Structure 1
Amino acid sequence: MDIHSTILYHLKEDMWLSYLAQKLISTDRLAPQSWCAMGNYFSMQKDHETALKNFQRAVQLNSRFAYAHTLCGHEYVALEDFENGIKSYQNALQVDARHYNAWYGLAMIYLRQEKYEFSEHHFRKALQINPCFSVIMSYLGTSLHALKRNEEALEIMENAIIADKKNSLPMYQKANILVSMEDFNGALKVLEDLKEYAPGESSVYALMGNIRLMYDKAMLHLGLALDLKPSATDVATIKATYFSNISSTSLTHVRMCQA
């Protein structure tokens, strides 16, 4: 029932989740799963303090219930109480070292705190337990990108895309990595593909716009360099430098973005 309530939470089925939580509480108030369902309902309503109290009640009823500890950690993170969030996730792992949700929760805290080596380690631990989870792969790639290990990050993102083609996150992150590597053409191609999966995502168009701005900045500096009247050999070298990463296909795409 605790897992069923989590599924309803992710599906945003608040009416059914409310019904399930009330039914479970009326059936057995001493079952930790009942309070997890109630906590999930309040978490969906963004009432994180009340949700936390319900999850804490579940822990009181069964301190060996790893999932309840993890749900407490999620609510602490939502309240930006990272210290207690870390403690909750660690409590979950003391109960069950293979509880990948807790490894993932710790990794997300370290990622937000910019402790990228720690986040990489914990994402990898989570991925060892659940090797087909595209979301974990995506954030592992994000950590690797922050550590400037872009080739590894791109490989992980490719695996994440293959694992779940409906997950738009790794495609977007792949585009970001390619932009940082100044592969604007590759980034735009990924974004064009991503538009098919997530046509309503404003961040996709914003990133395409940023690539357009980078192109404009490159053109400005190119113009300044050429205004200094360099030799014919230098002119060829300057143009080759500025256009090495921006193909004709890229220019077509950025004009489409501008339109």
Structure 2
Amino acid sequence: MQKDHETALKNFQRAVHLNSRFVYAHTLCGHEYVALEDFENGIGSYQNALQIDPRHYNAWHGLAMIYLRQEKYEFSKHHFHRALNINPRSSVIMTYLGTSLHALKRNDEALSMMEKAIIADTKNPLPMYQKATILVMMEEFDDALTVLEELKEYAPHESSVYALMGKIYKYRSMYDMAMLHFGLALDLKPSATDVATIKAAIEKLHIPDELDDNL
């Protein structure tokens, strides 16, 4: 996989060399640098794109995603705002802006942004899941379950939905329901990392724990 990104990066660098004002080539270089976790060069590529076209929202979004990963939430919020101002109908940008707001503990604003993201694209399951996650962190379990039940209709094969429901039932000491949903999550063959997390939750099913972001 790394070689694929390295090959793609070389191709996009060649495109930049042939036409240094090819905005999207700079942005694509940024994406590949990020995939290789070379954030410094990723930032440089996105900034190069914006020097050519300040309204290239993909570059603003790319920068925001780097800052989000680096937990520089004020920076990420600012850059997502810039991207959203240019592309105000993007459900994806709204969702990640909401994620930044949530990280800044501005939960009411985050929920409002998730609602806008859901309305902007009812087929995008991510803002619904993020909304449920925020509600769980706020201990609004009934509202979170309502969102997740609806989300199951849109994403019936998404293991993380069932895992989060299992987590909620665990907090409520409804262990049979928690076990059922953890089992359903495992049946959907999640990633190895998620499998380990879910199995750990099952092993600690009867041990009270604090709210966390493991699922």
What TM-score range do you get, normalising by the shorter chain?
0.7 to 0.9
Of 61, 75, 88 in structure 1, the residue corresponding to residue 32 of structure 2 is 75
1:115 matches 2:115: no
Change (3 A) 1:113 1:129: same
1:100 matches 2:60: no
Give the superposition deviation at 1:215. Answer: 1.2
The answer for the alignment partner of 2:94 in structure 1 is 137
Q: What stretches of structure 2 of length at least 5 have no aligned partner?
A: 184-215
- 8 Å CA contact retained: 1:138, 1:169: yes
The answer for the alignment partner of 1:158 in structure 2 is 115
Distance (Å, rounded) in 1 between the aligned partners of 2:35 and 2:141: 35
Distance (Å, rounded) in 1 between the aligned partners of 2:135 and 2:182: 20
The answer for the alignment partner of 2:14 in structure 1 is 57
The answer for the alignment partner of 2:133 in structure 1 is 176
Give the superposition deviation at 1:257. Answer: 3.6
Distance (Å, rounded) in 2 between the aligned partners of 1:125 and 1:153: 17
The answer for the alignment partner of 2:147 in structure 1 is 190
Distance (Å, rounded) in 1 between the aligned partners of 2:177 and 2:55: 46
- 8 Å CA contact retained: 2:58, 2:83: yes
Q: What stretches of structure 1 of length at least 5 have no aligned partner?
A: 1-42, 220-250
1:53-99 CA deviation, whole Å, 9 max, x = no partner?
00000000111111100000000000000000000000000000000
- 8 Å CA contact retained: 2:162, 2:182: no
Q: What stretches of structure 1 move > 6 A for 4+ residues in a row?
A: none
Give the superposition deviation at 1:214. Answer: 1.2
The answer for the alignment partner of 1:202 in structure 2 is 159
Count of aligned pairs between the two proteins: 183
- 8 Å CA contact retained: 2:166, 2:181: yes
- 8 Å CA contact retained: 1:212, 1:258: no
Q: Which has the larger radius of gyration?
A: 1
Report percent identity of matched pairs: 77
Give the superposition deviation at 1:258. Answer: 7.1
SS at match of 2:172: helix
Give the superposition deviation at 1:254. Answer: 5.8
Give the superposition deviation at 1:253. Answer: 7.3
Aligned residue identity for 1:182: E
- 8 Å CA contact retained: 1:140, 1:156: yes
Aligned residue identity for 1:152: E
The answer for the alignment partner of 2:210 in structure 1 is none
- 8 Å CA contact retained: 1:188, 1:253: no
| TM-score, length basis structure 2 | 0.81
1:203-248 CA deviation, whole Å, 9 max, x = no partner?
00010011112112xx8xxxxxxxxxxxxxxxxxxxxxxxxxxxxx
- 8 Å CA contact retained: 1:135, 1:160: yes
